Amino acid sequence: MRKRANLRDVAAEAGVSVATVSRVMNSPATVAPATRERVEGAMRRLQWVPSAAARAINSGRTRFVGALVPTLDSDIFARVLANLEQGLTAQRLSLVVATTDDDPDIELAKARALLDIGAEGLIVSGMTRSPDFDELVARARLPVIAISCHDPDYRMPTIGYDNHGAALAALSHLTGLGHRRIAVLHGPLRNDRTQRRVLALQGQGDADLTFHETTLSTAGGCQAVRGVLSGRRPSAILCLSDVIAAGAMAEVQRHGLRIPDDMSVMGLDDLPGSAHLYPALSTIHLPVSRMGRAVADALAGWVERDEKPDPQLLDHELVVRASTGPCR
Return the pLDDT at 117.
87
Alpha-helix residue ranges (DSSP H) falling in 209-308? 218-229, 242-254, 288-305
35 close to 12: Cβ distance less than 8 angstroms: no
Q: Rounded mean pLDDT of 98-115?
A: 95
Q: What is the 3-state secondary structure (H, E, C) of 96-145?
A: EEEECCCCHHHHHHHHHHHHHCCCCCEEEECCCCCHHHHHHHHHHCCCEE
Q: Rounded mean pLDDT of 273-281?
A: 97
Higher pLDDT pick, 7 / 309: 309
155 close to 134: Cβ distance less than 8 angstroms: yes
> Within 13 Å of residue 80, how many CA atoms lie on the same side as its CB?
26
How many H helices and E strands in the chain?
12, 12
Confidence of residue 28 (pLDDT cuts 50, 70, 90): confident
- From residue 220, alpha-carbon distances to 42, 68, 196 in Å are 58, 25, 20
Domains parsed from the chain with CATH numbers: 7-59 (1.10.260.40), 64-161+288-314 (3.40.50.2300), 163-286 (3.40.50.2300)
Can you state the angle between helices 33-46 and 7-14, rounded to 10 degrees?
120
- From residue 97, alpha-carbon distances to 71, 80, 157, 206 in Å are 10, 12, 20, 42
149 close to 163: Cβ distance less than 8 angstroms: yes
Helix, strand, coil in percent for the chain, rounding step 5 = 45, 15, 40
With a pLDDT cut of 90, the percent of the chain lying above it is: 81
pLDDT in tens, 171-209: 999 999 999 999 999 999 999 999 999 999 997 878 999
| Interior/surface letters 231-258, b for 16+ CB within 10 angstroms, e for the rest | eeebbbbbbbbbbbbbbbbbbbbeeebe
pLDDT over threshold 60, residue 57: no
Confidence of residue 22 (pLDDT cuts 50, 70, 90): confident
Return the pLDDT at 230.
93
Q: Rounded mean pLDDT of 151-163?
A: 96
Return the pLDDT at 143.
97
Please give the Cα distance from 93 to 99 (Å, whole number): 20
Return the pLDDT at 301.
97
Confidence of residue 127 (pLDDT cuts 50, 70, 90): very high
pLDDT over threshold 90, residue 89: yes
Please give the Cα distance from 263 to 271 (Å, whole number): 21
Nearest CA-CA partner of 123 in 138, 137, 135: 137
Q: Rounded mean pLDDT of 142-149?
A: 97
Return the pLDDT at 5.
81
Please give the Cα distance from 213 to 101 (Å, whole number): 17
Can you state the angle between helices 18-26 and 33-46, rounded to 10 degrees?
100
The amino acid occupying position 218 is: T
- Helix (H/G/I), strand (E/B), else coil: 25: helix
pLDDT in tens, 290-315: 999 999 999 999 999 999 999 999 99
